[in-house]
Structure 1
C-alpha cells in the first residue's frame, strides 16, 4: 500500500558539519558552556569524534563560545532572584563550568551578608510569616527551605529567628 522509503544514507561526519551543528545550537538555543557543547557534539557524532575538539576550539578562538562571559551573565541573572550563593554555584556547576570560573563569578557578586539576609528574610516571611519561629519542627522546615535555596546555615538561622520588634 505505502512505499517504504529507502533509508537515507548516513551523512559523512566532517569538520564543517560538526562546526555548523555547534553554531546551529548556539543560534537556536543561546549560549552554551564549552563542556556542554562538546557533550552534545559527542552524543550526536559518537561514531567519529575526531572533529569535535577542533570545531570547539575554532569557536573558542573566535570568541563565539566564552565560558567566563556566559557564566557572568548567568550569575547576574541568578543574583536577581531570591537565591543564595551556594545555589548559584550549584546551577553554574550543572552547566559545566570549571570551578575557577565559578569561583571568579561568585566572588564578583557585589552582595554582602546583609543583602543575603534580606533575601532570606523575604523568603521566610513569604512562606512562614513575619513572626519568629519557635516550634522546633517548623523551624527545621524553614531552615531546610532556606538552605535549599542556597543560603548558609548562619544566615538562614538568623532569618528564622528574626523578629521585627528587635530593632
Structure 2
C-alpha cells in the first residue's frame, strides 16, 4: 500500500542539492545565521559534508545569507520588547552570531539608560506593583527578575527603589 523508506533509493549528495536545500530553508522559514544553516546542512547531509561549506560560501557571496543584516533585524525586534541589552546579547549568541557582530548591533541600538530604566520600570510595575519595595526578600526577588530580563544591576536597583515622589 505505502512505500517503505527502505525501498527508496538513497539520493546522491551534490553541491547543487546542498545549495538548493539551503535556499529552500531560507525561502520557506526566513533568514538563518550562517552557523545555524551550516549545522542544519550537516545534520541532513551527514554522510558527505564536503559540499556544505562551499554551498554556504556561495550564498554568502551572493548576499542571500548575511549575518550582520539578520542580527540587526533581530536586535531591533528584541529592543522593542521589554528586555535589556544583556538578554539581547544572550539571544543573539544563541542564534550563532559572532561576538563582534553582537557587540556592534547592540551598541547601534539608539536607547539610553533612561529608556532601559523605563522598560525595567514597566516590568517591575507589572509584576510587583508601583510602590517601592521595602521587604528585603521581595527586593531580592525583584532584582533577580530584572537582571534575568537582561538589565544591569544598577538599573534594576534604581527601579526597585524608585518612587514617583523622587527623581532617579
1:133 and 2:146 are equivalent in the alignment: no
Task: Supply the distance in 2 between the matched residues of 1:103 and 1:165 (Cα, whole angstroms).
Answer: 36
RMSD (Å) for aligned C-alpha atoms: 1.1
Shift of 1:78: 0.5
Could you state the TM-score of these two structures normalised by the residue count of structure 1?
Answer: 0.97
Q: TM-score, normalised by structure 2?
A: 0.96
The offset of 1:165, in angstroms, is 1.2
List aligned pairs for 1:84-123, cutoff 5 A.
84-123=84-123
Per-residue Cα deviation, 1:101-160 (whole angstroms, up to 9, x for no partner):
000000100101111001000100111001000101100110111001000000001000
Determine the structure 1 residue equivalent to 2:80.
Answer: 80
Q: Which runs of 5+ in 2 are unaligned?
A: none
2:166 match: 166
Distance 2:166 2:86 in 1: 28
Distance in 2 (alpha carbons) for counterparts of 1:159 and 1:25: 43
What's 1:24 paired with?
Answer: 24
1:53 aligns with 2:31: no
Assess, with a 3 A threshold, how the Cα gap between structure 1 residues 90 and 13 changes in structure 2: closer, same or farther.
same
Which runs of structure 1 show a deviation greater than 3 angstroms over 4 or more consecutive aligned residues? 2-6
Structure 1, gaps ≥5 residues long = none
Q: Structure 1 pair 66/3, CA: closer, same or farther in 2 (3 Å)? A: closer
Structure 1 residue 4, shift from structure 2 partner = 6.4
| 2: CA distance, partners of 1:114 / 1:64 | 37
Cross-structure match for 2:151: 151
